[in-house]
Chain A
Amino acid sequence: MKTQKIGAWIAVLFGASYFIIPLIATFEFSLRMRRGEYSFDAYRSVFSDVQFRESFSYSIVMAILTIVFGILLVVPTAYWVRLRLPQMRPFVEFITLMPLVIPAIVIVFGYLRLYNSSSFIPFTGSARGTDLLLMFSFMTLSLPYMYRSVDTAMRTIDVATLTEAAQSLGASWPTIMFKCIFPNVMSGVLSGAFITFAIVIGEFTMPSLLNRPAFGPYLQLIGANRAYEPPALAIIAFAITWASMALLQLVSRFSKSAPSKP
């Protein structure tokens, strides 16, 4: 029993070392900008870079917009599919999985063909239009995660009966949606939102090919031209991702003790 446990721990440590040792090495390297001593100079340099601040805030704004519009798209869709089109569920699930199967680069080339400045819907004709297109593409990328987590949260409530109960009390569709359904799938919405956030912050292909100043391309640019800043940026990106993950954990733990169906 005991040796088994120790064996398991060794296996875990061995597996984790694959991941932790490079990270430690990266971190260590990022501290060596000043010759002969450890310092946070690389981080200072990164944070004082205007481009970093611009691209990072651009990506954060994009992430927030993506989350808001993603929620507005996914929650009503998942709700309606569960309520009225249950036989369509496998089909919708398949559709939402498509972005995992089709590489981002293929999607973005498709966009460029469809929405170029001489097309019927010239999204790429202006910077704002391209931003909009980029947001839609982020929504597409996060769709598999968003839909899944919302749909799973919806499974824990009896959508049909709650809807009928609300209707018999005089509620209109918006009231049902925002007072009865939304609050009960909040945990799923939040975990979907955090994954979306992490995806948008890290995404390179889409903003790069659409030529928008997002964090992903900036990361790539720095990586190609500097020595100490890229590891610092990598660590920062990790920290952000981990913070998202930790929040996700917190939310899912919180939601377990929060009100749910008896």
Chain B
Amino acid sequence: MSFLELAGIQKSFGPVQVVHDFDMTIEKGEFVSFLGPSGCGKTTVLRMIAGFETPSGGTIKINGKNQESLKPNQRNIGMVFQAYALFPNMTVHDNVAFGLKIAGMNKAAVDARVKEMLGLIHLGHLADRFPYQMSGGQQQRVALARALAPKPQVLLLDEPLSALDAKIRVSLREEIRMIQQQLGITTVFVTHDQEEALSISDRIVVMNSGRADQIGTPFDIYNKPATRFVASFVGTLNLIEATVVDPASNRISIGDQAITLREPLGPVKAGDTVSLALRPEAGSIAESAKGDTALTGQVVSSNFLGSVIRTRMKVGDPVISFDMFNAPGLSPPAVGDVVTLRFTASDLLIIRE
């Protein structure tokens, strides 16, 4: 049985419905990310789990227990906020001890647990500091320790890294993941940063205007996007409009160049338009490039991005981007060159909303 169950969750603020039929089950010890653009309802779902908002419909169960009648302070859920939200009047030690004291632990046990938690986040030496005496990254680690100290059933993090600079963001997200695995705590992590979600999650929920568009492993989300939204939101992607030539043999054409797809086209007829997705890293124009499919086009731009060179070429109307790994001695294609892109037909995904 799954540990955290969200079944048919709805939420309306006045006449505006911001969460629609949200279903999700999370296993014990799983790390799940809610990924989506601003305003899609990630925070709202998280706050309903924590009990700060009441769902307009649906049920939330933790470990089989319906949470509906429980107030936020009865749910035993750890929460980490974007703005750290450490108590400014308390030292690091007292912040971490806060939940433990409320739970009625004796002083010796509190001190031991605080020490353990501060050790976990490598801030044992700053126990007597006040929040305003610490960097943002340190404060957020303390906030994490504070949330974890009372051994919550579930840990919720709402964009905990958004206020930090790029370097800290990467190191702290790995630290969060390590601690999460070490403690085996069921975790929901909200972010609008796809790289963050892809790199540390067991599963990702891609949210789009209050709905879960796709739930899957980072690998599935990236490689097999279920909807156009997921495909375009996660990673860079070419979305190509193609014309159906012959539905029976899966033949389509992109800018007058015919291609045979692997996937069945489904109920379409000749002359219809279908949307195809192709990742920039799926093809190559190198001499040695492998693949059963080729498209020829004219280069319209070529950008050096460090480890890769991103080239855009025009195949009839559609413009397709592709990446080449940088290598010494490689000469990037020049604007106006005619090049042939090779790739495997199965990398072309049909996007059906």
Complex interface: chain A residues within 8 A of B1 (CB): none
Interface mask (A148-180 → B, CB under 8 Å = 1, otherwise 0): 000000000110011011111111100100011
Give the secondary structure class of A's interface: helix
Q: Is the CB of B79 within 8 A of A164?
A: yes
Asked if A184 and B79 make an inter-chain contact with CB atoms under 8 angstroms apart, the answer reads no
- A171 to B99 CA separation, bound complex (whole angstroms): 7
Contact A169 B98 (CB under 8 A): yes
Q: A262's contact among B50, B77, B139, by CB below 8 Å, is which?
A: B139
B36 at the interface (CB under 8 A from A): no
Q: B interface, how many residues as a size bin? A: 20 to 34
Determine the chain A residues whose CB is within 8 A of the CB of B79 once the complex forms: 164-165, 168
| A259 proximal to B (CB < 8 A) | yes
Residues facing B in A15-63 (CB within 8 A) are none
Q: Known A-B contacts: A167-B52, A168-B73. Give 10 more (CB < 8 A).
A: A157-B88, A161-B83, A164-B81, A167-B72, A168-B72, A168-B77, A169-B73, A169-B102, A170-B103, A260-B88
- Look across to chain A and name the residue whose beta carbon is closest to the beta carbon of B139: A262
The answer to whether B89 touches A259 (Cβ under 8 A) is: yes
Question: Can you name 23 A-B pairs with beta carbons within 8 Å?
Answer: A158-B83, A158-B85, A162-B87, A164-B72, A164-B79, A165-B86, A165-B143, A165-B146, A166-B98, A167-B51, A167-B72, A168-B50, A168-B73, A168-B75, A169-B73, A169-B99, A170-B74, A170-B103, A259-B88, A259-B130, A259-B132, A260-B132, A262-B84
Could you say which residues of chain B place their CB within 8 Å of the CB of A90?
none
Most A-side CB within 10 Å, residue of B51, B81, B130, B136:
B81
CB distance from A172 to the nearest CB of B (A): 6
Contact with A along B64-98 (1 / 0, CB 8 A): 00000001111111110101111111000000001
Return A254 CB to nearest CB of chain B, in Å: 14
Shortest CB–CB separation between residue B188 and chain A, in angstroms?
13
- Chain B residues with Cβ below 8 Å from A169 are 73, 98-99, 102, 146-147, 150
Find out whether the CB atom of B136 lies under 8 angstroms from the CB atom of A262: yes
Whether, in the assembled complex, A2 has its beta carbon less than 8 Å from a beta carbon of chain B, the answer is no
Is residue A261 contacting chain B, with contact meaning CB distance below 8 A?
yes
A190-221 residues with Cβ-Cβ distance < 8 A to B are none
Decide if B88 touches A184 in the complex (CB within 8 Å).
yes
Cα A166 to Cα B72 in complex, Å, equals: 10
Q: B76, B81, B89: which contacts A161 (Cβ < 8 A)?
A: B81
Indicate if the CB atoms of B78 and A262 lie closer than 8 Å. Answer: no
Task: Looking at the assembled complex, report how far the CB atom of A161 sits from the nearest CB atom of chain B, in whole angstroms.
Answer: 4
Question: Lowest 9 CB-CB distances: which A-B pairs, in order?
Answer: A169-B99, A183-B89, A168-B79, A165-B85, A167-B72, A161-B85, A259-B130, A170-B102, A259-B88
Distance in angstroms from B126 CB to nearest chain A CB is 14
Closest Cβ neighbor of B143 among chain A residues: A165
User: Please, which residues of chain A bring their CB within 8 A of the CB of B218?
Assistant: none
Asked whether B131 is an interface residue with its Cβ less than 8 Å from the other chain, the reply is yes
Collect the chain A residues with CB atoms within 8 Å of residue B102's CB.
169-171, 175
Max count, chain B CB within 10 A of own CB: residue among A165, A180, A184, A259? A165
Please determine whether A262 and B73 come into contact, CB atoms closer than 8 angstroms: no
Q: Which residue of A lies closest to B102 (CB)?
A: A170
List the B side residues contacting A172 at CB < 8 Å. 73
Contacts of A180 in B (CB 8 A): 87, 89
> B88: nearest residue on chain A (CB-CB)?
A259
State A168–B85 Cα separation when bound (angstroms): 12
Q: Check A168/B88 contact, CB under 8 A, given A259-B130, A260-B132.
A: no
CB–CB A164/B52 < 8 A: yes
In Å, the complex CA distance between A260 and B75 comes to 29
Residues from chain B with a CB closer than 8 A to the CB of A184 are 87-89
* A residues less than 8 Å from B147 (CB atoms): 168-169
CA distance A157 to B85 in the complex (A): 9
Instruction: Return B152 CB to nearest CB of chain A, in Å.
Output: 8
Are B76 and A164 in contact, CB atoms less than 8 angstroms apart?
A: no
CA–CA, A170 and B101, complex, Å: 10
